[in-house]
Amino acid sequence: MAILSTVLSGEDSENYTRSEARMLELAEKQPGYLGRESARTADGRDVTLVYYADEQSLKAWRDNAEHRHAQRLGRERWYASYEVRIARVERGYRFEAPAPGR
Amino acid sequence: MAILSTVLSGEDSENYTRSEARMLELAEKQPGYLGRESARTADGRDVTLVYYADEQSLKAWRDNAEHRHAQRLGRERWYASYEVRIARVERGYRFEAPAPGR
């Protein structure tokens, strides 16, 4: 999985929005894509968690030519700062409360 | 690190808020604590990323008696659902745009 924590510069925001939508679409088409969560911190950072089946899929996505181009524009224009973390999910579990009234 | 993705039930929210503040305070005091990010998804889930230096610190925090008690109340009252993922950060990098006008 990748954890991407970003702060936008505010510059060229229309193209950013278009590119972001395109990147989400492309990321989903990438083999090994499992899902994502997008959230926003109280201080205005966007945190996106992207899950891939394995390291190889994640690297293929990182190296995708269209994605590379967007990354470059991100550094040149769109982001004031960002932080990327690559992590391996080791285990997990889910809790679901019993439906009320049952 | 741990990724905690939660949906509140809305029940007993005053005690939840108090307990949450106490848990954040306790988590920070735990040896090995490195930091956290809290964010909210567009559909109302809270996503909290908590970073610890190693697996041992994370387990000690999971097993903290006061935290255990809060976890139980969380399942009984506060959460409609949650998902926990334990992951190991393998690498990361940070980008900072040059300050404008320099």
What number is the average pLDDT over the span B4-12?
A: 96
Examine the pLDDT at A100 and tell me if it is beyond 70.
no
Give the mutation candidate from A8, A50, A73, A96 for the B interface (greatest B CB count, under 10 A): A96
Point out the residue among A85, A90, A92 whose CB comes nearest to the CB of B92: A85
Residues B33-66 have pLDDT tens digits of: 999 999 999 999 999 999 999 999 999 999 999 9
Q: Name the DSSP letter for residue B31.
A: T
What number is the average pLDDT over the span B13-26?
A: 96
User: Residue A101's pLDDT is what?
Assistant: 58
What number is the average pLDDT over the span A76-101?
A: 93
Q: Which residues of A touch B45 (CB under 8 A)?
A: 37, 39
Q: Interface pTM (ipTM) of the complex? A: 0.88
Q: What is the 3-state secondary structure (H, E, C) of chain A?
A: CEEEEEEECCCCHHHHHHHHHHHHHHHHHCCCEEEEEEEEECCCCEEEEEEECCHHHHHHHHHCHHHHHHHHHHHHHHEEEEEEEEEEEEEEEEEECCCCCC
Whether residue B85 and residue A97 make contact (CB cut-off 8 A), yes or no, is: no
Whether residue B38 and residue A42 make contact (CB cut-off 8 A), yes or no, is: yes
Q: Which residues of B touch A86 (CB under 8 A)?
A: 89-92
Whether residue B95 and residue A75 make contact (CB cut-off 8 A), yes or no, is: yes
Per cent of chain A over pLDDT 70 is 97
Please tell me the distance from the alpha carbon of residue B97 to that of residue B92, in angstroms, as a whole number.
17
Please tell me the distance from the alpha carbon of residue A60 to that of residue A54, in angstroms, as a whole number.
10
Coil, helix or strand for B39? Answer: strand
Q: Which residues of B touch A45 (CB under 8 A)?
A: 37, 39
Nearest to B36 by CA among B45, B47, B44: B47
Say how many C-beta atoms besides its own lie within 10 A of residue A4's C-beta: 15
User: Residue B60's pLDDT is what?
Assistant: 96
Q: Are strands B33-41 and B46-52 parallel, antiparallel or unpaired?
A: antiparallel
User: Residue B38's pLDDT is what?
Assistant: 95
Residues B65-81 have pLDDT tens digits of: 999 999 999 999 999 99
Give the model's confidence band at A64: pLDDT under 50 very low, under 70 low, under 90 confident, else very high.
very high
A73 alpha-carbon distance from chain centroid: 16
Whether residue B41 and residue A41 make contact (CB cut-off 8 A), yes or no, is: no
Interface contact A18, partner B, CB < 8 A: no
